[in-house]
Amino acid sequence: MLIAAALSVFLALAVLGVLAGDEMWRHRVIYACCALACAALLIGGLKHLGQTPGTGPAIILPIGLPWMAAHFRLDNLSALFMVIVNLGTLAASVYGIGYCSHLPEPRRVTPFFPLFLFGMNAVLIADDAFMFLVSWEFMSLASWLLVLADHKNPENRSAAMVYLMMAAFGTFCLLTCFGLLAGPDGAYSFPAMRGSLLTPVTGFLVVLLAVLGAGSKAGLVPLHAWLPLAHPAAPSHVSALMSGVMTKVALYGLIRILFDLHGHVSWGWGAALMVIGGITAVLGVLYAILQDDLKKLLAYSTVENIGVAVIGLGLALAFKDSGEKALAALALVAGLYHMINHSIFKTLLFLSAGAVITSTGERDLGKLGGLLKRMPWTGAATLVGAAAISALPPLNGFVSEWLIFQALFKGPSLPHWAMKFGVPVVGAMLALAAALAASCFVRAFGIAFLGRPRSKAAAQAERVPLTMRWTMTVLAVLCIILGAIPVTVTDALSGVVQPLTGVHFAVSADLGWPWLSPVSSTRGSYSGTVLVMTGLTLFVISILLVHRFGTTKVRRADAWDCGHREDIPESQYTGQSFSQPLRRVFCSSLFAARETVEMPEPGDLAPARLTVRVVDPIWRYLYLGIVRVVDVVADQVNRMQFLTVRRYLLMMFATLVFMLLVVAVRQQQ
Amino acid sequence: MPPISQSSYEVAHLIGATVLMAGFQLLYQRRLFAVLNTFAFQALALAAAAAWQAHIQNAPHLYITAGLALVFKAMIVPFALHWLVERLGIHKTVETAMSIGWTMIAGVALVALSILLVLPVTANAAALTRESLALAMSVVLLGLLMMITRHNAVTQVVGFMALENGLILAAVSAKGMPLVVEISIAFSVLVAMTLFGIFFFRIRERFDTLDLQNLETYRGDRQ
């Protein structure tokens, strides 16, 4: 009831958004109403998760196709994702109250924002393929319109074009996938699909199409190409939703099909997903390190985190098929935990990028710097987010990655030799990605917030409105809380994964609250609660000690400035210089990164130039390759436009005779 | 419906085969007037086939079909084309895109193909229908073959009309084809004839010939 009301509120708000015009208070009211509806959905999701495990009642509405009513249902999995989605949307809506007045054209954003929220929530509660796909397209098209909000920039227009094509491709794959699941009788409701028996070939195709369809939305390599173009092009609170939340809806689709509707995915697909996830994680973070654009960096980091979550999903599939249900539950819990975490800290980081862009007008790392002094709240919240995404304890990012590692360490207990050897390789990739992610965010935070301002705009940065600061602070606090009470989260998650893996699994069974000991107490245990408590206690004690015994005399002296002159901010360490060693090590062969130095002639006063050239191999060989093939084929087909009448007749005749021959030959057999 | 006697079956077969033979003759002719005369002969045979079918099937509406074929196809169309050719002073040889020998061989192959195709498909139908359908399909394919192996616009029109003849032959031999279909086919042929006539004048006015090869160089959309 609550959910239905909130969803209809979104639709009504979209209409009001069209009428809002240029009056800013109306836009603020609409965002505030969005926030209320999101809060209602969040409460609805939490309430369902708090109940005993089970599926909610099916709601059937007489809308949609005439011979097929629309089915909706809220079960544990969708309730969990409803919580994930509406945490992000709530934050983005509250942030939007203050942010909308800083947009160049708020009229182009406000009407589509509630539609986007509606689409994402409707995907989660859909209980038949038709509603699922309609809502999925709703989500895609609304976000596409939001990407086009600043349509005067040609870069955004081409990003929107690529996004639209990839979205169409993804939906086409999902459509075919559901068609196969539904079978020849057209059983499009999810309960009917669960019972259907799939032949090996159909089952294989279903998984392939689901991975292609949902994976293209989530940003799995090599289908990620649209993501770093489209996510940064939208206004920042929408970027936060697309990166932090919409990718989770895509993963929801993947989990729904692979774990629930299909049910018997072979371990080979688990292995494939793990490899894809590992490659996605490593490539995503390497791309991120090379970026100078703050929002692009965050978008590539999303690609990395999706890879990490997909490793968890793949491992869960492999364990499930091998009968290791408890370990499957562990891997799935870890993957879901990572999705929750990523939705929070990525939303936070995108919102803070939005705050930086609002107050400076710059998103190039090379023109930022020294923002921590001008924007202390934003800076502190970003620091927490960056530490969380770098998986530093005691924050939430650490817990989920630690759990994924714990599950990976049990990989050698799988019966297949490929997995025994492959799982440690994926583990190594994950470790590499985690370490690179940390360096990526040290770079992003250090260059943007520390040091001296690198441009006038950065030096004159102003505080952002209160709602924006509050949102970021609350999200930062959530990062700490979710890291401090891991057991509570995993217990809630094990209720969600129970119907998917068929076993109830308590991650904390061995040692009890607040200790996480997923495998056994001797193999590894972790308690964020204890860590936070200890850390806080030590922090307070050391402050007291310093105050008690430290000298109170104020001394003034020049700090050692690393040879950096205050009046030349260019002499600071830059984003490019920070990433140079990693670029040389990892990207020379992978991305064909080349550096050329142009030295001026002796006596010439022109500055020396260092040019870096990086080639994206996937874009160049896969996407441009496809474009080239299409071009060649189109050229050939184009020739057919300029034939004579007689030739056209000849072609028709030849086709006719050929078809008749086929019929004749088939009859003889 | 009384069973069709052996003799009426053979007569029907004979007339149908005559239509097909006329189709081959069309391919063989080297003179435009001869093509037109042969076409008139084919239409005459078609009219006879329709009348014979009306007689043995006891379906009086087929007489109307026969009458339409006789009046439009065997008289009006050939006379009109004759008049056009005279009026426009068209070069009276047929220009072929493929040598006549090869065209005949291709025609024989097409007849073989249609027999091979139709006989198994219609295994359950009456013998008369099967034979007639095979013949009709051969006539249609020969008409198409004529359209693609001749450059001259008049011969292409004749090929098109021959194709129509094949369709009508198929229609009269299948029982229960409504008259309305045949009448509409007949009128569409007439309309097509009128349109072609107008086009002949226009083409002729511009290019001094009806050889369609000359049109190709004047197409605006060619780059």
Q: Omega of the bond prior to A62 within 30 degrees of 0, cis?
A: no
| Contact yes or no for A430/A282 (Cβ under 8 A) | no
pLDDT, residue A106, reads 86
The pLDDT assigned to B219 comes to 54
Q: Could you report the per-residue pLDDT of B179-191, keeping only the tens digit for each? A: 666 667 776 777 7
Minimum CA–CA partner of A656 in chain B: B141
Kindly state whether residues A500 and A392 are assigned to the same domain: yes
For residues A295 and A235, the answer to whether their CB atoms sit within 8 Å is no
A504 domain-assigned: yes
Using an 8 Å CB-CB cutoff, list chain A residues near B123: none
Residues A81 and A45: their CA atoms lie apart, in Å, by 8
Residue A559, helix vs strand vs coil: coil
Closest residue by Cα to residue A311 from A337, A278, A342, A288 = A278
- Residue B174: what pLDDT? 73
In B, which residues are within 8 Å of A651 by CB distance?
A: none
The answer to whether A306 touches A251, Cβ cutoff 8 Å, is: yes
Q: What is the pLDDT of residue A550?
A: 79
Residue numbers in B near A642 (CB within 8 A): 219, 221-223
Q: Are residues A601 and A487 both part of a single domain? A: no
A307 within a domain of the structure (yes/no) = yes
**Nearest-by-CA chain A residue for B122:** A667
Q: Is the peptide bond before A394 cis (omega within 30 degrees of 0)?
A: yes
Question: Considering only residues 71 to 90 of chain B, which have any Cβ-Cβ distance to chain A shorter than 8 Å?
Answer: none
ipTM: 0.79
Element (H, E) at A154: helix A154-182
Name the minimum distance, in Å, from the CA of A626 to any CA of chain B: 27
The tokens of A137 are what? 């397209």
Out of B110, B148, B223, whose CB is closest to A646? B148
How many domains does the structure of chain A reveal? 3
Q: Are residues A533 and A435 in the same domain?
A: yes
Residue A30 domain flag: no
User: A652 with A539, same domain?
Assistant: no
Residue A285 and residue A535: Cα distance in Å, rounded?
30
Q: A499 and A385, same structural domain?
A: yes
Which one of A643, A644, A651 would you mutate to disrupt binding with B, by most B Cβ within 10 Å of its Cβ? A644
What is the span of the domain harbouring residue A387? 266-543
DSSP A70: E
- pLDDT given for residue B222 in this prediction: 43
In angstroms, the CA A232 to CA A243 distance is 9
Across all residues in chain A, what is the average pLDDT? 88
Could you tell me if B97 lies within 8 Å of chain A, comparing CB atoms? yes
Asked whether residue A1 is assigned to any structural domain, the reply reads no
Domain boundary among A543, A561, A595: A543
Closest CA to A210 of A160, A269, A123: A269
pLDDT score recorded for residue A120: 94
Report the pLDDT averaged over residues A237-251.
94
Q: Which residues of A316-350 are buried (b: 16+ CB within 10 A; e: fewer)?
A: bbbbbbbebbbbbbbbbbbbbbbbbbbbbbbbbbb
Cβ separation of B222 and A657 shorter than 8 Å? Answer: no
Domain stops at, among A520, A543, A566: A543
Site from A635, A657, A666 to mutate, B interface, most B CB atoms within 10 angstroms:
A657
Within this chain, do residues A459 and A332 fall inside the same structural domain, yes or no?
yes
Which residue reads 């923002």 in tokens? A371
Closest Cα of chain B to A108: distance in Å?
A: 41
Residue B177 confidence (pLDDT): 65
In a domain? residue A655: yes
- pLDDT of A247 strictly over 50: yes
Check residue A632 and give its pLDDT.
95
- CB-based contact (8 Å) between B116 and chain A? yes
pLDDT at position A525 is: 81
B69 three-state secondary structure? helix
Distance CA B23, CA B104 (A): 10
A539 and A456 inside one domain: yes
Q: Flag whether pLDDT at A563 surpasses 80.
A: no
In Å, how far are B7, B92, B132 from B14, measured between CA atoms? 10, 32, 10
Averaged pLDDT for residues A317-322: 91
Instruction: Note whether residue A630 is domain-resident.
Output: yes
Give the closest residue to A334 by CA, choosing from A361, A321, A316.
A316
Among A519, A543, A567, where does a domain finish? A543
What is the DSSP annotation of A3-23? Answer: HHHHHHHHHHHHHHHHHTTT-
- Both A591 and A626 in one domain: the answer is no
User: What is the nearest CA distance from A649 to chain B, expressed in angstroms?
Assistant: 6
Among B113, B141, B144, whose Cβ lies nearest the Cβ of A664? B113
Residue B18 is predicted with a pLDDT of 92
pLDDT of residue B208: 66
Q: Across the interface, do B97 and A646 touch by the CB < 8 Å criterion?
A: yes
Whether residue A533 sits in one domain with residue A412? yes
Instruction: Report the pLDDT value the prediction gives residue A418, as an integer from 0 to 100.
Output: 84
Query: Could you report the per-residue pLDDT of A80-136, keeping only the tens digit for each?
Result: 999 999 999 999 999 999 888 888 888 888 899 999 999 999 999 998 899 999 999
Whole-model pTM? Answer: 0.79
Q: What is the reported pLDDT for A194?
A: 85
Q: Give B151's DSSP letter.
A: -
pLDDT for residue A88:
94
Find the range with the poorest average confidence among A271-275, A367-371, A566-570. A566-570
Residue A516 near residue A486 (C-beta atoms within 8 A): yes
Report whether pLDDT(A533) > 50: yes
pLDDT of residue B1: 46
Percent of chain A clearing pLDDT 70 (strictly above): 97
What residues of chain B score a pLDDT lower than 50? 1, 221-223
Q: Mapping DSSP to helix (H, G, I), strand (E, B) and coil, where does residue A609 land?
A: strand
Q: What is the pLDDT of residues A161-199, one digit of tens each?
A: 999 999 999 999 999 999 999 888 778 888 888 877 788
Structure tokens, A603: 């006596």
Domain assignment of residue A39, yes or no: no
Higher-pLDDT residue of A5 and A340 is A340
Amino acid of residue B146? M
- B114 interface with A at CB cutoff 8 Å: yes
| A600 domain residue, yes or no | yes
- For residues A601 and A664, state if they share a domain: no
Q: Are residues A490 and A598 in the same domain?
A: no
Residues A289 and A366 occupy one common structural domain: yes
Residue scoring higher pLDDT (A607 or A252): A252
Q: Token pair 């689409």 is at which residue? A: A119
d(CA A548, CA A542): 10
pLDDT at A509: 65
Q: Is the pLDDT of residue A53 over 70?
A: no
Size of interface A-B (CB pairs under 8 A): 44
Rounded to the nearest 5 degrees, what angle is found at the Cα of A338, between the Cα atoms of A319 and A237?
A: 145
- pLDDT of A55: 65
Residue A645 to residue B97, Cβ atoms within 8 A? no
